[in-house]
Structure 1
Amino acid sequence: MRIELTSEPGDATHPNEDFAALALPASGQGGALVVLDGVTPPAGDDGCLHSVSWFCARLGGLLTELSVSHRDLTLSEILAEAVLRTADTHGSTCDLSHPRTPQATVVLARWSEAAVEYLVLSDSALLVEAPDGTVTVLLDDRLARLPRAALATDALVDARVRNKEGGFFTAAADPSVAARAVTGELPRGRVRALVGLTDGATRWTEKFRQGDWTDLFAVVRKEGAAALVERVRALESADRAERAYLGRSKTHDDATVVYVEP
């Protein structure tokens, strides 16, 4: 089994709000991949005493443990349970109804000898390579499909589209969001390798248009997970002044890449 994992903060002075983990059960059969991208809130009150990094560590830790210890549960059920347990840890001290309560995007994959299950919520990505080299991207593209006008201000996003029908969904404090995730199952024989990425790493394809998803997968397979992040950082730095590709987005974002050949 080949495994590679890299995670780099966008700002060295700010905590990395991504989370990534790989788990291999003691039975030696199967495994699980977890990737979270914490949602950085705008300056101001978010109703919570805890940081986004704190939230992602707890939610990610629970997702990792539940994915391998409760194989009787679906990935949607695991996400719902992890969100509920995480909310229970700070519901007495924090306003979990606040639209900016700590939250994250989610990528989950779990494999056995028979199948590979997957779950994607919000704008992180899971790439699946078949034995013949075909690469399939699994996305929750609801955020990408929203008109720019719907995302014009933070207040507008919070009021109309964040975790609302017709908008997009993230894992925050409501376990029912698990039913909104993109989920599915593939025969184990149709999967040669997996790559989980936060949107700080998918920038190579989605923002800078350096290649399609197959090209991105090839970079990770041939050069390694860290090489993809290095390429993204170089592109970000080159566009820092003109912002032809970056636009209004932050120059550097937390970037995480997980590669596994199960």
Structure 2
Amino acid sequence: MQVSMASARGVGVANEDTVHASPTGVVVLDGLSAPKDLPMGCVHGTPWFVRQLGTSLLNLIGDNNVTLREALRAAISEVNDLHRDTCALDQDAVPASTVAMIREREDVLDYLVLSDNVLLIDLGDGVRAVVDKRVEEVAGEEMRAALRGPTGTPEHAARVSALVTVQRRLRNRPGGYWVAATDSAAADEAITGTVALTQVRQAALLTDGASRLVDTFGTLGWEQLLELLSTEGPSALIARTREAELADPTGERWPRFKRSDDATAAYVCFGLQQHGEGDS
């Protein structure tokens, strides 16, 4: 397994994505942004949370006897233990993250996706897109309001805060949606699967800031996005995404919550295939 990766901050102060890789595993996380005008029960913040969770996950999935769901449950518990004495973890306002990860295990590839990261797996006869869009099925009225532009205005920021307020009440609850936060039971709601390694040619793990060319802008298909990754690399994907965002800075053509989001892409090829930049 050969991995190349890139990550870039969006309009926020810090990059709330993280990516970790080992010879047999890749983990990509996207921390859920917390508007400055809303409370937060953790003094460490979202970037700290995603770094700790990603490190723990990469260590845990190195044990092939541990399923990916078990690894996610254990990682959430481990991170809870790091800050339960300093932070109010019994609130809705705690750091949270999406999760996408893969692992080579003997002759198979295991995968897990929780919330709106995207996993692409090229099986030779087509690209399988593994996505969890349950967050888009809740708070519909608030979501439609938050997508109304122009982005970057105080009015738009207020609508996004209203959406996050409602979403926080619906996280990790039946009828809502599921993310990695403080409830380890969220791992049981993740999308998981296993495919034979002989079927897999290449794969990509994307935060929603790196999947925009397909699922927000509609300028590429998944197959074309994989082709871009394989020929030019993850940095080129993010650069092209930024070009599209700059062409529509206020969200008039492509409504979105942020003009520019944190973007992280990990491209993985298998066997003897070669690819672009930044091998890990």
TM-score, length basis structure 1: 0.91
Unaligned runs of 5+ in 1: 25-30
Counterpart in the other structure of 1:17: 16
Counterpart in the other structure of 1:37: 30
Secondary structure at the counterpart of residue 109 of structure 1: strand
2:127 equivalent to 1:135: yes
Q: Is the 8 A contact 2:251 2:259 kept in 1?
A: no
Whichever residue aligns with residue 7 of structure 2, its letter is S
Q: Is the 8 A contact 2:64 2:105 kept in 1?
A: no
Choose which of 47, 53, 67 in structure 2 pairs with 1:59: 53
The 1:166/1:74 distance shift into structure 2, 3 A limit, reads same
Whichever residue aligns with residue 79 of structure 1, its letter is L
Q: Is the 8 A contact 2:57 2:71 kept in 1?
A: yes
> After the TM superposition, which residues 111-190 of structure 1 pair with which residues of structure 2 at under 5 Å, given as runs?
111-132=104-125, 134-146=126-138, 148-149=140-141, 151=143, 153=162, 154-159=164-169, 161-190=170-199
Q: Is the 8 A contact 1:150 1:157 kept in 2?
A: no
Secondary structure at the counterpart of residue 61 of structure 1: helix
CA deviation vs aligned residue, 1:96-144 (integer Å, no higher than 9, x gap): 1221201100001001331010000000011001134x21101112123
Counterpart in the other structure of 1:254: 262
Distance (Å, rounded) in 1 between the aligned partners of 2:112 and 2:40: 27
Q: Is the 8 A contact 1:20 1:34 kept in 2?
A: yes
The 1:15/1:210 distance shift into structure 2, 3 A limit, reads same
Distance (Å, rounded) in 1 between the aligned partners of 2:112 and 2:261: 23
Choose which of 170, 187, 202 in structure 1 pairs with 2:211: 202
Secondary structure at the counterpart of residue 209 of structure 2: helix
Q: How many residues align?
A: 251
Computed over aligned residues only, the root mean square deviation of the Cα atoms, in angstroms, reads: 1.5
Unaligned runs of 5+ in 2: 146-161, 271-280
Secondary structure at the counterpart of residue 61 of structure 2: helix
Secondary structure at the counterpart of residue 200 of structure 1: coil
2:83 equivalent to 1:90: yes
CA deviation vs aligned residue, 1:30-89 (integer Å, no higher than 9, x gap): x00100001111223211111111001100000011111x21110000000000000010
Q: Is the 8 A contact 1:207 1:245 kept in 2?
A: yes
Counterpart in the other structure of 2:42: 48
Whichever residue aligns with residue 105 of structure 1, its letter is T
CA deviation vs aligned residue, 1:158-198 (integer Å, no higher than 9, x gap): 23x22221121110011111001001111111111110000
Q: Is the 8 A contact 1:193 1:259 kept in 2?
A: yes
Q: Is the 8 A contact 1:124 1:199 kept in 2?
A: yes
Distance (Å, rounded) in 1 between the aligned partners of 2:203 and 2:55: 20
- C-alpha displacement at 1:242, in angstroms? 5.4
Q: Is the 8 A contact 1:239 1:246 kept in 2?
A: no
Counterpart in the other structure of 1:8: 8
Whichever residue aligns with residue 225 of structure 1, its letter is P
Distance (Å, rounded) in 1 between the aligned partners of 2:248 and 2:142: 26
Counterpart in the other structure of 1:27: none
**After the TM superposition, which parts of structure 1 deviate over 4 Å for at least 4 consecutive aligned residues?**
none
CA deviation vs aligned residue, 1:176-223 (integer Å, no higher than 9, x gap): 110010011111111111100000001110110012211111111122
TM-score, length basis structure 2: 0.86
